[in-house]
Chain A
Amino acid sequence: AQKVTQAQTEISVVEKEDVTLDCVYETRDTTYYLFWYKQPPSGELVFLIRRNSFDEQNEISGRYSWNFQKSTSSFNFTITASQVVDSAVYFCAPDKAAGNKLTFGGGTRVLVKP
């Protein structure tokens, strides 16, 4: 079974500040995916990024970047130059590569103030 810990329950920042969301996971699978999803106040769940467990290269996509450290089972997510529209709950979710069963963390609520 997989377990996901998002230790930060809520983060409040002022617009243009960077925000880093922590995610630590436990899994017995040797191959798996890692995801970040965003849930704005409207409620829909928005896919943000996916990472394969065998690829530890960190990447940047626009204002989003992520830091995957397999050795410490962490998959942190950073929003650079935050905007008010980034206010949402962010979920980290590992997935068995062949099972397609997302296990969601408890979520981190991000509040970006103007």
Chain B
Amino acid sequence: SAVISQKPSRDICQRGTSLTIQCQVDSQVTMMFWYRQQPGQSLTLIATANQGSEATYESGFVIDKFPISRPNLTFSTLTVSNMSPEDSSIYLCSVERPLGSGEQYFGPGTRLTVT
């Protein structure tokens, strides 16, 4: 498994502002993933973040709205930009461990409420 931490654990933000969520892993990983879970819904993949390259976004998600950084092999950030109440969700990062296993382990999530 992997030890993954996220900051902040929760936040309440005003519409029009931006929030950056941090994801820290206890050891180096090749790929990190960002998911969104809207209230009462399932999880949806936002993007895949590889170190040293631009993130790959899924259909319906764009870099301007969800810019991602991956400065090293243990850390990534997701920014939710120009927030609206529809962005209220739990945002989770995950990593594949061990490499090639397909097993993904998730951080505890960041619960975002936009007012």
A positions within 8 Å CB-CB of B: 33, 35, 37, 43-47, 50, 91, 95, 97, 100-107
CA distance A104 to B92 in the complex (A): 13
CB–CB A102/B42 < 8 A: no
Please report the C-alpha to C-alpha distance between residue A33 and residue B102 in the assembled complex, in whole angstroms.
7
Check A100–B102 contact: CB distance below 8 A.
yes
Of the A-B pairs whose beta carbons lie under 8 Å apart in the complex, a sample of 27, sorted by A's number, is A35-B102, A35-B104, A43-B109, A43-B111, A44-B107, A44-B108, A44-B109, A45-B43, A45-B109, A47-B106, A50-B101, A50-B103, A91-B42, A95-B102, A97-B102, A100-B33, A100-B48, A100-B96, A100-B102, A100-B104, A101-B33, A102-B43, A102-B104, A104-B42, A104-B43, A106-B41, A106-B42
**A100-B102, A101-B48 given; A45·B42 CB < 8 A:** no
